[in-house]
């Protein structure tokens, strides 16, 4: 697999340099090409997974346990899309409450996002009651390296360099003059009109923090770089049994496909009335004899009449039973943050990351209230039963497995004391440096982030096109 050699590229011919080849960076490049704008993608990893390169992502977690910083992301062409789950859905309108943009600002990019992900542009949401909606995700099998590798090789507008690590930016007077990259054991200086940092929800903060240390006059020293970092707590919160026949009847012709997982989300009403964070569950609705027997046994003990009533339906496929997985919003906290290790550096002499992280009582509360209210709803409507796990009632037992969703650190906003980029994703007080990716998220909602990452990246491409044509 041969891509352009560093020494063969005249960077003066490229108005945009993009660091990172994951969904964010690659989307920007592909969209710019459609607008007849050339760009160079610089990827720190190789075309495929390499353990020596991956080790550059090692870091320290200080505080509560969370997935280690290396296994939760990929340093290679296509970025972490190489192992993402594929579940895709736009964020809810109410999740943009503290953003400098609204959902309506991203809606024009929905069709293009679905095209990039090879999914149907349709996301049904059906009201179950005042507190819950049945929602629909789309599954994308796209791996950005697999889908776009050959395309980029043939492109005359997109050039790609692999195994080239961005170290930091140089500049002053509100402008990046050059990017310092490490390539073949030597330092390279790259100049361009615009620079796009799209290295992921941890590396974006790391590089900005290192730039801040190396060039005190370039970045506003008061910007909260690395702060307000978030994850999606992702837990097995219980087991559930749903009468699909009754649910289908309740939803009438809006009934969604029951061959896949069942997704239910808290409505805006539940969130506002109970003052909780966004949350959603999906039930892995597969035939599982052991789980069926387990929950039927519990129901027979707690509600004997109902247990006897439904036990004969188990193997008639009128019931769906499965583990309940929960995706919960995590509140942005100044104390959950990315910092540079004061002593340890990687083999390229860049400080490794220290992630300071504490689980949130608010996320635990959202899980508890959601399951209690949803369980009551199922009982009242005679739709089934929910059995919660004990871990949602005690913060110490609250197992945050994490969704490998690294959010925040360069949050979007107007107030420079709590944000790093503006509504156009430009770094505050720097005219030609933009950030793409999940690090820009101000809040996380319950939805997997990749879909929104692509929407924001398409919007950024429009912004760059406007800048280059004025």
- 1 has a pLDDT exceeding 50: no
- Work out the pLDDT band at 313, boundaries 50, 70, 90: low
pLDDT at site 10: 81
- Kindly state the average pLDDT of the residues 92-121: 97
- Kindly state the average pLDDT of the residues 343-369: 94
pLDDT at site 3: 54
Lowest mean pLDDT across 60-74, 91-105, 120-134: 60-74
More confident residue, 387 or 295: 387
Q: pLDDT, tens digit, for every residue of 161-190?
A: 999 999 999 998 799 999 999 988 789 999
- Domain ranges in the chain are 6-119+141-230+336-357+407-468, 234-330+362-393
pLDDT at site 2: 42
More confident residue, 401 or 342: 342
pLDDT at site 372: 93
More confident residue, 6 or 203: 203
- Alpha-carbon gap, residue 145 to 23, rounded angstroms: 9
Report the topology of domain 6-119+141-230+336-357+407-468. Answer: FAD/NAD(P)-binding domain (3.50.50)
C-alpha dihedral, 96 to 97 to 101 to 107, nearest 10°: 40
Share of the chain above pLDDT 70, in %: 94
Instruction: Kindly state the DSSP code that residue 108 receives in the 8-state scheme.
Output: G
More confident residue, 390 or 107: 107
CA distances from 56 to 114, 167, 396 (A): 32, 12, 31
What angle is formed at CA 291 by the lines to CA 66 and CA 394, rounded to 5 degrees? 40
Q: pLDDT, tens digit, for every residue of 364-382?
A: 999 999 999 999 999 999 8
- 260 has a pLDDT exceeding 70: no
- Kindly state the average pLDDT of the residues 5-11: 75
Lowest mean pLDDT across 121-125, 239-243, 432-436, 460-464: 239-243
pLDDT at site 297: 77
The segment with the largest mean pLDDT, out of 284-293, 393-402, 420-429, is 420-429
- 252 has a pLDDT exceeding 80: no
pLDDT at site 288: 61
Site of tokens 């490049």: 29
For the record, the structure tokens of 300 come out as 């027979």
- Work out the pLDDT band at 71, boundaries 50, 70, 90: confident
- 239 has a pLDDT exceeding 70: yes
The segment with the largest mean pLDDT, out of 10-14, 24-28, 238-242, 256-260, is 24-28
More confident residue, 329 or 242: 329
Helices assigned H by DSSP within 107-218:
110-117, 144-154, 203-214
The count of C-alpha atoms lying within 13 angstroms of the C-alpha of 462, restricted to the half-sphere facing its C-beta, is 12
- Kindly state the average pLDDT of the residues 51-74: 88
- Kindly state the average pLDDT of the residues 396-404: 73
Lowest mean pLDDT across 30-34, 346-350, 389-393: 389-393
More confident residue, 216 or 263: 263
Return the H-helix or E-strand segment holding 272.
helix 268-274
- Work out the pLDDT band at 400, boundaries 50, 70, 90: low
More confident residue, 7 or 189: 189
- Alpha-carbon gap, residue 331 to 313, rounded angstroms: 41
Tell me the average pLDDT of the chain: 89
Q: Which of 37, 86, 44, 74 is nearest to 197 (CA)?
A: 44
The segment with the largest mean pLDDT, out of 67-76, 283-292, 300-309, is 67-76
Q: Which of 118, 134, 136 is nearest to 126 (CA)?
A: 134
- 256 has a pLDDT exceeding 60: no
pLDDT at site 389: 83
- Alpha-carbon gap, residue 448 to 413, rounded angstroms: 21
- Alpha-carbon gap, residue 45 to 81, rounded angstroms: 13
């Amino acid at each position: 697999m041969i891509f352009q050699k560093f020494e063969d590229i005249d960077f003066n011919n490229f108005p945009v340099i993009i660091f990172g080849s994951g969904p964010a960076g690659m989307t920007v490049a592909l969209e710019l090409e459609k607008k007849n704008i050339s760009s160079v993608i610089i990827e720190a990893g190789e075309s495929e997974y390499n353990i020596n390169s991956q080790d550059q992502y090692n870091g320290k977690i200080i505080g509560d346990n969370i997935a280690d910083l290396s296994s939760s992301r990929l340093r290679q062409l296509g970025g972490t899309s190489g192992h993402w789950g594929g579940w895709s859905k736009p964020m809810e309108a109410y999740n943009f409450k503290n953003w400098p943009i609204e959902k309506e600002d991203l809606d024009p990019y929905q069709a293009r996002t679905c095209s990039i992900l090879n999914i149907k542009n349709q996301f049904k949401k059906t009201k179950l009651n005042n507190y819950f909606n049945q929602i629909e995700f789309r599954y994308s099998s796209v791996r950005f390296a697999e889908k776009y590798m050959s395309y980029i090789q043939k492109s005359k507008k997109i050039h790609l360099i692999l195994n080239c690590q961005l170290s930091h930016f140089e500049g002053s007077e509100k402008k990046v003059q050059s990017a310092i990259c490490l390539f073949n054991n030597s330092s390279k200086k790259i100049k361009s009109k615009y620079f796009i940092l799209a290295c992921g929800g941890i590396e974006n903060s790391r590089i900005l923090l290192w730039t801040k240390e190396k060039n005190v006059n370039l970045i506003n020293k008061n910007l909260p770089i690395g702060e307000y970092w978030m994850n999606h707590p992702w837990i097995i919160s219980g087991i559930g049994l749903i009468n699909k026949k009754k649910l289908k009847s309740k939803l009438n012709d809006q009934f969604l496909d029951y061959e896949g997982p069942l997704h239910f989300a808290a409505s805006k009403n539940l969130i506002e009335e109970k003052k909780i964070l966004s949350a959603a569950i999906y039930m892995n609705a597969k035939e599982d004899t052991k789980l069926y027997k387990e929950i039927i046994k519990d129901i027979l003990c707690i509600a004997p009449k109902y247990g006897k009533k439904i036990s004969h339906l188990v193997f008639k496929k009128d019931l769906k039973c499965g583990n309940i997985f929960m995706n919960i919003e995590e509140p942005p906290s100044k104390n959950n943050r990315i910092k540079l290790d004061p002593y340890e550096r990687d083999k390229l002499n860049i400080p490794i990351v220290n992630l300071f992280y504490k689980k949130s009582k608010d996320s635990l509360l959202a899980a508890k209230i959601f399951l209690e209210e949803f369980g009551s709803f199922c009982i009242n409507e005679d739709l089934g039963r929910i059995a919660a796990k004990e871990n949602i009632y005690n913060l110490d037992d609250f197992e945050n497995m994490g969704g490998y969703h690294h959010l925040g650190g360069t949050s979007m906003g107007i107030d420079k004391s709590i944000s790093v980029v503006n509504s156009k994703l430009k770094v505050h007080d720097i005219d030609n440096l933009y950030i793409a990716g999940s690090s820009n998220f101000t809040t996380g909602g319950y939805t997997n982030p990749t879909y929104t990452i692509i929407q924001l990246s398409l919007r950024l491409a429009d912004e760059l096109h406007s800048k280059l044509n004025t």
